[in-house]
């Protein structure tokens, strides 16, 4: 099938689905507390985790890179946590190794490493996926208002490709249960590598200059878009519904008309970047931002 004239790349969690807070506060954090017995430092751990994962420039970070960042800072701030997280250097080594940051890649990496700490990371990831699936099965994964109408309208002229750091199976399940899968041309996931890699693969179909737009709620989404010279429309944390209303009512038409880039896009980006806590205010961490994968 020949590609349509326009390309719309779109993140999933926190962009289409109102799931970021659920995933971190009800899944990743409580499972980590159990796996590493962090009850005695729970408040400090949760504060750091939420600062990084939800409200900083690192929002949307890959789960393994995010966990490494959180544990590094927690161990620096708490002697008790440092003891509880003994062996976490193995996780730091993995996320800086250049390997893909996925469950399969970590499992393969640990076959030779034989790290008991990385065994726990794998356990944490599996248990988190299982718990998240149970919550979604019982409660459902809520879609933001204006999403369906926006994607229906966009799909008339654009190929829609999901670009996400989640696993492909999770993405397929989420989009299918929401009744949105039929609107999507393709789903990319962590198995295809970073979001930059996913976009590179998706854009190989060929689209005219100025006809590719990425949507997301994290700085890493913007960075991936810029790597490929794409325009970007932000879904602003804590103003998601208003963002989608703006996209449906104004931005999508501008994109198709060729008037999206320039002053209008810059206004959206300034508003978006102003909502994210700068790195030096969110956490005391000197390493560069990890890319999603």
Domains of the chain and CATH, by start:
6-18+143-273 (3.40.50.1000), 20-139 (no CATH)
The interaxial angle of helices 219-227 and 263-273, nearest 10 deg, is 140
- State the average pLDDT over residues 157-170: 92
- CB neighbourhood size of 222 (10 A): 20
The confidence score (pLDDT) of residue 62 equals 87
> In whole numbers, what is the pLDDT of the chain averaged over residues?
91
| Residue 8 contacts residue 162 (beta carbons within 8 Å) | no
Nearest-Å Rg of the Cα atoms of the chain is: 19
- State the average pLDDT over residues 150-174: 93
The confidence score (pLDDT) of residue 278 equals 62
Instruction: Look at the block and give the residue holding tokens 């005695």.
Output: 40
Model confidence at 292: pLDDT above 50:
no
Sign of the CA dihedral with 225 first, then 230, 236, and 239 last: negative
The confidence score (pLDDT) of residue 282 equals 43
Model confidence at 162: pLDDT above 60:
yes
The confidence score (pLDDT) of residue 99 equals 92
- State the average pLDDT over residues 146-150: 98
pLDDT in tens, 96-115: 999 988 899 999 999 999 99
Alpha helix stretches (DSSP H) within 96-158: 103-113, 116-139, 147-154
| pLDDT, greater one: 196 or 285 | 196
Angle in degrees, CA 262, 266, 272, rounded to 5:
155
Helix (H) or strand (E) holding 272: helix 263-273
Query: At 286, is the pLDDT very low, low, confident or very high (cuts 50, 70, 90)?
Result: very low
- State the average pLDDT over residues 149-170: 94
| pLDDT, greater one: 123 or 51 | 123
pLDDT in tens, 174-206: 999 999 999 999 999 888 888 999 999 999 999
Q: 47-56, 82-91, 224-233, 248-257: which has the minimum mean pLDDT? A: 47-56
DSSP label of 292: P
């Amino acid at each position: 099938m020949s590609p349509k004239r326009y390309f719309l790349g779109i993140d999933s969690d926190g962009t289409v689905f109102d799931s970021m807070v659920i995933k971190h506060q009800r899944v990743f954090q409580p499972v980590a507390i159990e796996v590493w017995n962090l009850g005695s430092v729970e408040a400090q751990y949760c504060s750091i985790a939420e600062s990084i994962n939800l409200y900083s420039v690192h929002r949307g970070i890959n789960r393994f890179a995010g966990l490494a960042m959180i544990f590094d800072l927690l161990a620096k701030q708490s002697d008790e946590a440092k003891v509880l997280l003994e062996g976490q250097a193995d996780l730091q080594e993995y996320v800086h190794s250049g390997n893909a940051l996925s469950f399969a890649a970590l499992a393969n990496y640990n076959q030779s490493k034989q790290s008991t700490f990385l065994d726990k990371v794998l356990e944490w990831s599996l248990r988190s996926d299982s718990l998240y699936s149970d919550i979604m099965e019982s409660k459902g994964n809520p879609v933001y208002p204006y999403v369906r109408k926006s994607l229906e309208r966009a799909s008339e002229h654009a190929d829609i490709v999901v670009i996400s750091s989640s696993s492909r199976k999770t993405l397929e399940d989420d989009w299918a249960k929401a009744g949105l899968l039929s609107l999507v041309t393709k789903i990319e996931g962590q198995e295809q590598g970073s979001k930059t890699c996913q976009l590179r693969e998706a854009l190989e179909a060929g689209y005219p200059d100025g006809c590719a737009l990425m949507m997301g709620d994290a700085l890493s989404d913007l960075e991936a878009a810029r790597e490929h010279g794409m325009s970007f429309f932000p879904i602003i944390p804590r103003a998601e519904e208003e963002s989608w209303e703006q996209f449906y009512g104004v931005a999508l038409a501008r994109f198709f008309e060729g008037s999206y880039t320039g002053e209008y896009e810059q206004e959206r980006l300034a508003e978006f970047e102003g909502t994210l806590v700068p790195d030096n205010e969110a956490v005391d961490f000197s390493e560069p931002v990890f890319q999603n994968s």
